[in-house]
Amino acid sequence: MSCNSNVHSAISPSHIAIRGGTVVNADHQFRADVLCRDGRIVAVGEQIEVPAGAAIIDAGGQYVMPGGIDPHTHMQLPFMGTVTADDFYSGTAAALAGGTTSIIDFVIPAPQQSLLEAFHIWRGWAEKSAADYSFHVAVTWWSDSVAAEMETLVRQHGVNSFKHFMAYKNAIMADDSVLISSFARALELGAMPTVHAENGELVHLLQQQLLAQGMRAPAAHPLSRPPQVEAEAAGRAIAIANVLQTPLYIVHVSCAESLAAIARARAAGQRVYGEVLAGHLLIDDSVYANPDFAGAAAHVMSPPFRPAEHQQALWKGLRSGDLHTTATDHCTFCAGQKAMGRSDFTKIPNGCGGVEERMSVIWDAGVGSGWLTPSEFVAITSANAARIFNIYPRKGSVSVGADADLVVWDPLASRTLSAATQHSLGDFNVFEGRTVQGLPSHTISRGKLVFERGELRAERGAGRYVRRPPFAPQKQILQAPGKHDKQGSKQK
Ligand code: URP
Ligand code: ZN
Ligand code: ZN
Ligand code: ZN
């Protein structure tokens, strides 16, 4: 379980050649060798010249894919009275072991705290990262100074996405007035508004009602956050984005109702993007019926795990293109921390792990079953996140000039997932006992071989902060092009 047990320093010859594999990008796959030099991909093709002294990886029978991007993690997060078990080193080391080479984490300023102050605190914590990292910044309150700091973050600090928690009342919840001000500001700055969609007022009310009825165990957690509570918030955020003509990215879409709202908005021409968590795709709400407090509490996260029919809807959303990215919301708390809510489920720190398992569980259930193609897998595990957050093709692509963040994927390798063998410092694995087929044999991060057939060589501090440039300023266009006269009324 310890992250340090098999960590050695990364092998770093200046060149690495990956030979004999099938390169998989989001648009196509092809037979090619890949040469990396000084952290970049410098050649992709057949029979490339390999310089003397280069390290050579034999990828015969394997896929060579962009390293995963997990666009939703919380390392070292102070939350609900405690701090997550994984810091930026252990969490990114676990990510590398699973084939994920970049994370986008969250700076979450307390209400009234300066966004820039919080940003610099998180940047300091993240210096120990073993993999590349970037930050969404949460807008938890509003004032002119917040609007000004958003601009500084975009223009000077490479932040192009702002997060809004529509839940967590009396803590970090953003009400409609904050959402509207912040979405409008994001549009001016060329940044992407994102939301955690749950109606925090309804959650709070339902929690109080459940507690008043004596329902204090983890089984009450999903009852306090039913799908309608998520769908209402998703629909509201979509409506606000529609009026303001901003794009919108909805994190951890967990239920069919929210997905339907996204599909409707997209069909009506809105730029709405949906993220789904590996856990929501594969774990159902039966976990909350566990009479053992620790087992049930370990699954307390928000939104909660849902009845199985929602999982089917989410898999369909990934294939239809109404869901775009897969993430983990990696936010680990150990049993002692979860015990803070032993007599009151609302005090259980919300969050689960998964950063190490995401790629393999989605490959196994998605590609292994035939539901997704390898290229679709690349789209939903790296390329789409890179596009949506404006770092493509530097990330999310096996192409000349891209960062040498690669995973050599062995489709035949299998293992049984367990907390006993994970690299995360969490003491629980939500995928415990699941046997997956399809695993990374090698992970290359910035041109360094950091994981090789079970041996992790993550290097503390080797990860770099990834700046994400703003999108081009968008005109506020309230009407679609078409046959209109000058007054804007439809021609007969
Ligand atoms: O339960 C969760 N998801 N914890 C992390 C914070 C958040 O809502 O993403
Ligand atoms: Zn600064
Ligand atoms: Zn959330
Ligand atoms: Zn989260």
* DSSP letters for 295-349: HHHTT--SSPPB-HHHHHHHHHHHHHTS--EEE--B----HHHHGGGTT-GGGSP
Alpha helices in 367-472 (DSSP H): 374-378, 384-388
Output the six-digit token pair for 118.
């919080």
134 lines ligand 1 (CB under 6 A): no
Residue 44 burial class via C-beta count within 10 angstroms: exposed 0-12, middle 13-18, buried 19 and up:
buried
Torsion of CA 380, 295, 440, 394, to 10 degrees: 40
196 lines ligand 1 (CB under 6 A): yes
In this structure, the residue with its CA closest to atom 1 of ligand 1 is 301
Q: How far is CA 444 from the centre of its chain?
A: 20
Q: Which residue has the tokens 């007054």?
A: 487
CATH of range 68-388; options 1.10.10.10, 3.40.50.300, 3.20.20.10, 3.20.20.140: 3.20.20.140
User: What are the pLDDT digits (tens) for 177-230?
Assistant: 999 999 999 999 999 999 999 999 999 999 999 999 999 999 999 999 999 999
| Pocket residue to mutate for ligand 1, from 329, 348, 355, most atoms within 8 A of Cβ | 329
Output the six-digit token pair for 136.
């969404």
Predicted complex ipTM exceeds 0.85? yes
302 lines ligand 1 (CB under 6 A): yes
| Pocket residue to mutate for ligand 1, from 302, 306, 348, 430, most atoms within 8 A of Cβ | 302
Q: Mean pLDDT across the stretch 252-266?
A: 98
> Mind giving me the DSSP string for 190-256?
T-EEEEE---HHHHHHHHHHHHHTT--STTHHHHTS-HHHHHHHHHHHHHHHHHHT--EEE----SH
Q: Give the integer Cα–Cα distance in Å for 148 and 122.
A: 19
Output the six-digit token pair for 398.
């096996």
pLDDT averaged over the chain?
A: 95
pLDDT score recorded for residue 304: 98
Output the six-digit token pair for 180.
């509207």
Q: Among the atoms of ligand 1, which is closest to the Cα of residue 196? A: 8
Please say if the pLDDT value at position 56 is more than 80.
yes
329 lines ligand 1 (CB under 6 A): yes
Q: Give the integer Cα–Cα distance in Å for 371 and 71.
A: 23
464 lines ligand 1 (CB under 6 A): no
Q: Which residue has the tokens 């009450």?
A: 220
301 lines ligand 1 (CB under 6 A): yes
In this structure, the residue with its CA closest to atom 2 of ligand 1 is 351
For the chain, the structural domain boundaries read 68-388
**Residue 85 contacts residue 331 (beta carbons within 8 Å):** no
Question: What's this model's pTM, rounded to 2 decimal places?
Answer: 0.95
Q: Mean pLDDT across the stretch 246-260?
A: 98
User: What are the pLDDT digits (tens) for 427-462?
Assistant: 999 999 999 999 999 999 999 999 999 999 999 999
Q: Which residue has the tokens 């080479």?
A: 101
pLDDT band, residue 474 (cuts 50/70/90): low
331 lines ligand 1 (CB under 6 A): yes
Q: Among the atoms of ligand 1, which is closest to the Cα of residue 302? A: 1
Q: Give the integer Cα–Cα distance in Å for 439 and 412.
A: 8
Task: Give the strand order in the sheet containing 448-452.
Answer: 29-31, 22-24, 63-66, 406-416, 435-445, 448-452, 455-456
Q: Mean pLDDT across the stretch 232-251?
A: 98
337 lines ligand 1 (CB under 6 A): no
In this structure, the residue with its CA closest to atom 5 of ligand 1 is 351
275 lines ligand 1 (CB under 6 A): no
Alpha helices in 247-307 (DSSP H): 256-267, 278-282, 293-297
